[in-house]
Amino acid sequence: MSKPAAAAPLPKIVLFGDSLTEWSFAERSPHFVENGFGTVLEEKYAGRAKVLNRGRAGQTSTSLLDYFNDIIHDLENESCEYSNWACPLFFTIFLGANDACLLPSKGTYVPLREFEENIRYYVETLLEHEVTHGTRIILITPPPVNVRTPLLSETSDLEEETRLARQGRGYRTYVSKKRFADKIKEIAASYEKNDRVACLDLWDALMQYGRENGKSDGFTPLDGAKDDDKEKDDDDEKTPGSGLPGAKEFSKDVFVDGLHFGTEGYNLLSTKLLELISAKWPEL
């Protein structure tokens, strides 16, 4: 008599990325954050799916290419063991934070064109591979950095302070990250006719949060300005975290060190992610 087929394991949810993904699981967080989106998904899908932490700190879309292929290979091997194996429910791809980084201590910068090629490779592989034939794909835009805003006084030379801030590596990294976030949105838009691909615009969500909740320390060039002047001056150069005079900063609850998320940063990401899944794929 043949043995009954072994029960298939729970379907997978694969979270792929850098430290922002790896540290989204409470047991991996060096900042003792307990509400990362990895942990939130584990709680939401408990008993229904197994959430895999496939984030690797310090890595980029280029350095993770081989690791991604290993993930696919592992899924292939498991699918061969069970006749009733189910493909992963969804894959999050959360990259760009290191790729866009101009800070000398990182040395991880990846040219934007190469970044796009890497992301498209990941998406196309997941769309076409047999073991992920029904898997949904969520592209998450990289967040900004949180650059300190210079403290000004009534005697400060605003034009000179702005010029110096724009030349700083922090602001230039901020601009670089915006370009990479825009590229993720562009890539996702190119798949708009494919119901399996979605974009979580984390950049815009953080901008909105920062405008409403960001802090301004000391005198800024907007102090005492008329409402019309404030609205006019709230352009892309003064967005939260940019470090330019007049820009708001994110609190340490959002960015613990200017780069990595704290409790509020992960809370915003988790909330937006669950909202996206519920709206686009309510069956999940």
- pLDDT at residue 106, as a whole number: 56
List pLDDT tens digits, range 94-104.
Answer: 999 999 988 65
Antiparallel, parallel or unpaired: β 197-200 and 136-140 = parallel
Q: What are phi and psi of 58, to 5 degrees?
A: 80, 0
- pLDDT at residue 156, as a whole number: 65
Residue 262 burial by Cβ neighbours in a 10 Å radius (0-12, 13-18, 19+): buried
Query: How far apart (Å, rounded) are the C-alpha atoms in residues 188 and 183?
Result: 9
Looking at the DSSP assignment, which residues form a beta bridge with residue 249? Answer: 215
* Ordered domains of the chain (ranges, CATH): 12-280 (3.40.50.1110)
Q: Enter the DSSP assignment of 62.
A: T
- pLDDT at residue 179, as a whole number: 98
| Longest distance between any two alpha carbons in the chain, whole Å | 90
Query: How far apart (Å, rounded) are the C-alpha atoms in residues 58 and 260?
Result: 11
List pLDDT tens digits, range 179-237.
Answer: 999 999 999 999 999 999 999 999 999 999 999 998 875 445 444 444 443 443 444 55
- pLDDT at residue 51, as a whole number: 98
CB atoms within 10 A of CB 22: 21
Query: What residues in the chain have per-residue pLDDT under 50?
Result: 1-4, 218-219, 221-235
- pLDDT at residue 227, as a whole number: 44
The residues, ordered by sequence, that sit 6+ positions from 172 with a Cβ below 8 Å of its Cβ are: 102, 166
Query: How far apart (Å, rounded) are the C-alpha atoms in residues 24 and 256?
Result: 13
- pLDDT at residue 228, as a whole number: 44
Query: How far apart (Å, rounded) are the C-alpha atoms in residues 77 and 85?
Result: 11
Looking at the DSSP assignment, which residues form a beta bridge with residue 57? Answer: none
The pTM score is 0.89
- pLDDT at residue 94, as a whole number: 99
